[in-house]
C-alpha cells in the first residue's frame, strides 16, 4: 500500500491514518463500518470498498468479523476500480 502512496502522493497521509485506524478498529458488523465510513460500499463475501480522497481512489478490504481481521485486497484509482470485478 505504501508503494501506491509513493505513486499517488495525494493519498499518503490519508492512507497512513487509515491503516492506523484499521489496525485498532473492532468491526463486529457492517453497521460498525457504515457508522464510521458512510460512503463504504458492501459487496459479496464481506468485501468492503472504501473511498479515498474524495472518491478518487478506492481501497478494497475483506472483513472477517468474527475474528476481527481486515485483509487489504486491492487499492487503486476510481477508474481502475471500474475495470475490476470482485
Q: What is the pLDDT of residue 73?
A: 95
Question: pLDDT (tens digit, 0 to 9) for every residue of the chain, 86 residues total?
Answer: 778 988 999 899 999 998 899 889 999 999 999 999 999 999 999 999 999 988 899 999 999 999 999 999 999 999 999 998 88
Q: What's the number of domains the chain is made of?
A: 1
pLDDT in the model for residue 8 = 92
Residues 61, 49: Cα–Cα separation, whole Å: 7
User: In angstroms, rounded to a whole number, what is the distance separating the alpha carbons of residues 26 and 67?
Assistant: 10
* Residues 28/9, Cβ–Cβ less than 8 Å: no
Question: Does this model's pTM top 0.95?
Answer: no
- CATH number, domain of 55, equals 3.30.2310
Range of the domain at 11: 2-82
Amino acid at each position: 500500500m505504501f508503494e501506491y502512496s509513493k505513486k499517488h502522493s495525494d493519498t499518503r497521509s490519508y492512507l497512513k491514518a487509515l491503516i492506523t485506524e484499521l489496525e485498532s478498529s473492532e468491526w463486529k458488523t457492517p453497521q460498525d463500518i457504515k457508522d464510521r465510513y458512510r460512503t463504504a460500499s458492501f459487496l459479496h463475501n464481506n468485501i468492503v470498498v472504501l473511498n479515498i480522497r474524495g472518491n478518487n481512489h478506492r481501497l478494497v478490504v475483506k472483513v472477517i468479523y468474527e475474528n476481527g481481521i481486515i485483509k487489504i485486497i486491492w487499492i487503486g484509482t476510481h477508474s481502475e476500480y471500474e475495470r475490476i470485478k470482485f
